[in-house]
Amino acid sequence: MAASSAGSAGSVKRQSQWAIWFFGALGGILWGYDTGVISGAILYIPDDIPLTPLEQGTVVSGLLVGAMLGAGMSGRLADTLGRRMLILLGGVVFVIGTLGAALATTVLLLVLFRFVMGIGVGIVSVVVPMYLSELAPARIRGRLTSLMQLLVTVGIFVAYLTDFAFADARAWRWMIGLGVIPAVVLAIGIYTQPESPRWLVAQKPDGGEDDARKVLERLRGGREAAAAELGEIKESVRVERERSEKVALATLFGPRLRRRILIGMLLVFFQNFVGINTIIYYAPTLLTNVGFGDTGAIGANVGIGAVNMLMTLPGMWLIERAGRRPLLRWGAVGMCVAMLVLAVVNLVGLSQGPVLLGVTLAGIVVYIASFSISWGPVQWVLLPELFPLRVRASAVGFCVTFNWLFNMTVALLFPSLLAIFGAGWNFLFFAVTTALAYLYATRLLPETKGRTLEEIERDLTTPVTAKP
């Protein structure tokens, strides 16, 4: 009888955890889908809504402006409403934005509803990793940070497949509109899941501990394990209340934190200005620019999405073995070589043909593989490691807000720059920025793998020397 009871508890535990991971994964996939689907849709939107190059950039970047707002609001709302309810709200926002964008008849409406979709993206990008990490067992908590990056690439890949499926029909409204299905499943499904035990302890002084204990007993399958983890959560909340502080903007740029903020800001700057967003959002546009047909360009984009997704896996494995700095350095080298090749073949005046098409596609694949194994997952792991606990939330939030701003800037300007200068000069610009990213990772960035916060802090308060 005891064995049967233990087996039943274990089964409930597994079912509860799988449901949480499923809906958390759905949030990450939805984030990737809504950011990636526009790359194919933008080729066919002009069939119904004429777009200038600047308007193309505005349609793409409207989502990113919304993401800045959503991410900026999420920290306070997650504490006020709870992690679970804010994810539900994000799902509702996704549904409204997706349906509105799919049915839009003017540029203004399309940009407006892409902005609404972006608010959902911003909410999910902050709250889903937080929710998963607070419900995960301690032994796997650290893996979830890089796991979200993988789930986003899965969402991008699914978006590219959807674009390809509807390419012949030029059905851009279906490409965008199908994103409503995972959004509805997320909104309904997350409502059935438990609230974060950590939020319950921190934000509900009356009854929060009892509710948290019930959630942990359900997830961990036993009172003893639940009681031990509840004690750890209470201690963590107590320490954070003692050490955390509200940080003014001037404090972040004060003498003690100035260098850390500079390193963090440069990290998010280079992650965006090495050119990744031109590939994620505009690869089919680039490929049609060098001679691919629309359907062929979107088909090739599916392969690019597959490389992006698959190469994230060794990046997740290497980040704790090779270290952060080596991954960023070698990733920058690979991206720089690829961009130089792309620049040369586009600037030497090769006529459109198999050679130009093949080299361009190969260069993009090498570039995306180099990024996905390095700068893609490393940023999200490295950023929190740069800052001490007392200012971590404020400092990381500040850097992530600028991450979306830099992302939006590239997405907005690239179609106009492509129309003015052509692909070759844009590729050459990104070759320069990737070379600068290599110098940044070599000269300025500390290695944080396997190091204590005290050791990292010592690195950041002493002069920088070149490291092998």
Determine what percent of the chain is predicted with pLDDT higher than 70: 83
Residue 64 or 146, more confident: 64
The model's pTM is 0.81
Q: Is the pLDDT of residue 207 over 80?
A: no
Q: Is the pLDDT of residue 145 over 70?
A: no
Provide the mean pLDDT of the chain: 82
Residue 69 or 227, more confident: 69
End-to-end CA distance of the chain: 61
Residue 79 or 173, more confident: 173
What is the reported pLDDT for 464? Answer: 44
Residue 415 or 319, more confident: 415
Could you tell me the domains of the chain? 13-193 (1.20.1250.20), 250-468 (1.20.1250.20)
